[in-house]
Amino acid sequence: MKWNNKFNYPKSLRSIENGMRRYLFNDEKLPSVTSILQATKSDEDKAALENWKQRVGHSEANKIKTEASTRGTSMHSYIEDFLRGRINESFFESNEQYKNMAKEIIDKGIIGKLEEIYGMETTLYYPKKFAGTADMVCIYKGQETIIDFKQANKPKNVDYIQDYFLQLGAYTLAHNVVYETNITSGVILLCTVDNLFQDFKIEGSELLMYQNLFLGRVKKFNEMNNLS
C-alpha cells in the first residue's frame, strides 16, 4: 500500500461542553458524530443500556466501558503505527491482547486489500452541521472507502451495529460534500477479545440510506438543543 496526500485534511481543536464533544473550526463549534448519535438514541436503546447497567451493576459497567475504551485506543494506535511503517511484524510477537487484535485486523482485513491511504485519524466535517474523526480514508479493494476499526467483547451482527453504519454514513457524506468526492463504500473491520475477525461493508444505495438517516439524527439533535 502507499500513502497519497490527495486531500488537505484540516486540523481541529476539540472541547467537551456539557458532556458533549465539539470540534472547533475557526469560529465554528460543531457537535461530534458520536455525540449526536448518543444524544439521539431511541428510548428502546436507552432502556436496553440501562437494563444492562442494572444487570451487571454500575461499577462493573463503568469498568467494562473503560477497559474497552483503553483496549480500542491501543489497538487503533498499533494499526496506525504498522501502516505508517513505525513498527514491523516482530512488534506483535508479545502476547498482549490489543496487539493480537490489531494483528488479526491487519492480517485478515488489510494486507492484500488496502491499496492507497489518503489519511488516518482524519478530521472530517460537514459545514454548520457536524464533525468527526474517521479512522482511515483510502482505496480498499479498488474503491475509495472510509474504514472504521472496532473492537468488541463478543461477535456482532448487523442489528447491533447500526450506529457504526450511521458513523460511516456521516463520514462519507462529510467527505463527499467538502472534497467533492463520490465515496460510495464504507467498511467496518472488527476484532473481538477472543480474536474473531469480522468485516462489514455498506455501499451504494445502502450507504446513501445511512447518510440520510444520519441527517435525520442531526435534525433531531438540533431540535433537542433548540438549534436552527
Q: What is the pLDDT of residues 165-217, one digit of tens each?
A: 999 999 999 999 999 999 999 999 999 999 999 999 999 999 999 999 999 99
Does residue 65 register a pLDDT over 70?
A: yes
Question: What number of other Cβ atoms are within 10 A of residue 154's Cβ?
Answer: 9
Does residue 94 register a pLDDT over 70?
A: no
Q: What dihedral do alpha carbons 117, 123, 126, 132 form, nearest 10°? A: 110
Enter the pTM of the model. Answer: 0.91
- Domains in the chain: boundaries: 2-56+114-222
Q: How confident is the model at residue 18 (pLDDT cuts 50, 70, 90)?
A: confident
The whole-number pLDDT of residue 55 equals 84
Query: Which tens digits make up the pLDDT trace of 97-126?
Result: 888 999 999 999 999 999 999 999 999 999
Question: What stretches of the chain show up as alpha helix (H) in DSSP?
Answer: 33-39, 43-56, 58-83, 97-105, 162-179, 204-224
Q: How confident is the model at residue 92 (pLDDT cuts 50, 70, 90)?
A: low
Query: Which tens digits make up the pLDDT trace of 137-158?
Result: 999 999 999 999 999 999 999 9
For residues 145 and 159, what is the distance between their CA atoms, to the nearest angstrom? 22
DSSP 11: P
2: alpha, beta or left, given left = phi > 0 and alpha = psi -120 to 50? beta
